[in-house]
């Protein structure tokens, strides 16, 4: 228990960059670079748990799912299963490239990936108002055909007129199903890749059994909860900018070095942080610090392990 334990949430650019098609070669190269940057912490002898996003990847899986159903009458797989697919192949890439990086630095660490279920509350208000778009665009006629097959689904018209997309809830994570194993393995010095894409959303049904549910959990919020549940000392939320900014991309933009919980909440209330971008990261940081976490930094991966980097949120 003497080593520091850190949870590092890989941002979307750790796997896919703007303008890229998402080939396996592109994603492997991006992950290799991020894993190289992670050595900044590993050389300081941290125990490390890695979370990651899966938005573009699970979106592509859903497109293949829809195409296979339309062209070959293959059965549609639910979103929870598609999320599990994405956890497996992203974890494979991270684990493989991290092993390559460790070998190049002559560092002895074992790496493993856990396909992770995250429990949500079936009464979460988000289920009454699904807003998270997923998968392909459909015409109105295609949407109506799909609604006959799965009438419980919800679709919304794209504001840019590109058609209709399925929308799902984004509930708050309640429990990381295999948190005890994650902590045990991490405390043994193993690097654990987990809560991919925020975890596979599951809930307890009327019988008390776990079952998958069509939903999307914010990956930074899930990483924050995991950090709390395994007693991590530090949480690193990685993005594509070195610090959090207010008045971002304006002439008077200002980088934030250290901000209090109260200041972060005020900036959120003032809508300084964009939904779907920086706002969820700041909320995840607040969750960690307000519930006893010691240190949370939002930054880009190349800053890992350096002193006085990124934006730190303090109590």
Given 166, 179, 243, 281, the catalytic residue: 281
Q: CA-to-CA distance for 307 and 315, rounded, in angstroms?
A: 19
Given 11, 12, 199, 310, the catalytic residue: 12
Asked if 190 is an active-site residue, the reply is no
Q: CA-to-CA distance for 5 and 211, rounded, in angstroms?
A: 31
DSSP notation for 224-283: HHHHHHTT-SEEEEE-SSSSEEESTTSTT-EEESEEEHHHHHHHHHTT-S-TTTHHHHHH
3-state helix, strand, coil in the chain (%, to 5): 40, 25, 35
Asked if 250 is an active-site residue, the reply is no
Nearest Cα neighbor of 309 from 261, 255, 232, 264 is 255
The neighbouring-strand residues paired with 66 are none
Q: What is the CA radius of gyration of the chain?
A: 20
Given 11, 13, 196, 197, the catalytic residue: 13
Decide: residue 149, CB within 10 A, 0-12 exposed, 13-18 middle, 19+ buried.
exposed
DSSP notation for 139-166: -HHHHHHHHHH-TT-EEEE-TTSS-EEE
Contact (Cβ atoms closer than 8 angstroms) between residue 191 and residue 49: yes
Given 37, 65, 132, 198, the catalytic residue: 132
Nearest Cα neighbor of 98 from 110, 116, 115 is 110
The neighbouring-strand residues paired with 166 are 134, 155
Asked if 243 is an active-site residue, the reply is no
Given 219, 243, 293, 310, the catalytic residue: 219
Cα 136-142-143 angle, rounded to 5 deg = 75
Asked if 265 is an active-site residue, the reply is no
Asked if 132 is an active-site residue, the reply is yes
Tokens, residue 298: 């939002």
Q: Which residues are catalytic?
A: 12-13, 132, 219, 281
């Amino acid at each position: 228990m003497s080593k520091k334990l850190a949870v590092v949430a890989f941002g979307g650019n750790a796997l896919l960059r703007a303008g890229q098609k998402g080939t396996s070669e592109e994603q492997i190269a991006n992950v290799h670079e991020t894993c190289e940057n992670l050595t900044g912490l590993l050389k300081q002898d941290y125990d490390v748990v890695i979370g990651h996003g899966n938005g573009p990847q699970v979106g592509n899986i859903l497109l293949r799912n829809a195409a296979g159903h339309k062209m070959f009458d293959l059965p549609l797989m639910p979103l929870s299963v598609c999320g599990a697919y994405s956890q497996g192949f992203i974890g494979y890439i991270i684990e493989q490239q991290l092993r390559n990086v460790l070998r190049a630095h002559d560092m002895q660490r074992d790496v493993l990936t856990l396909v992770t279920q995250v429990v949500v509350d079936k009464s979460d208000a988000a289920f009454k108002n699904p807003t998270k778009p997923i998968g392909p665009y459909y015409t109105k006629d295609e949407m109506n055909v799909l609604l006959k097959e799965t009438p419980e689904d919800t679709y919304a018209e794209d504001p840019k007129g590109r058609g209709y997309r399925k929308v799902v809830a984004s509930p708050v994570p309640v429990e990381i199903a295999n948190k005890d194993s994650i902590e045990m393995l991490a405390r043994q010095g193993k690097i654990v890749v987990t809560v991919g894409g925020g975890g596979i959303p599951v809930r307890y049904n009327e019988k008390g059994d776990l079952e998958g549910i069509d939903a999307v959990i914010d990956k930074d919020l899930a990483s924050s909860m995991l950090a709390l549940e395994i007693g991590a000392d530090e949480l690193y939320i990685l993005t594509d900018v070195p610090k959090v900014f207010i008045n971002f991309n304006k002439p008077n933009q200002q980088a934030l070095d250290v901000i209090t919980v109260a200041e972060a909440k005020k900036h959120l209330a003032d809508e300084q942080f964009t939904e779907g971008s920086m706002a969820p990261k700041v909320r995840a940081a607040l969750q960690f610090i307000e519930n006893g976490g010691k240190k949370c930094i939002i930054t880009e991966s190349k800053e890992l392990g350096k002193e006085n980097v990124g934006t730190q949120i303090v109590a």
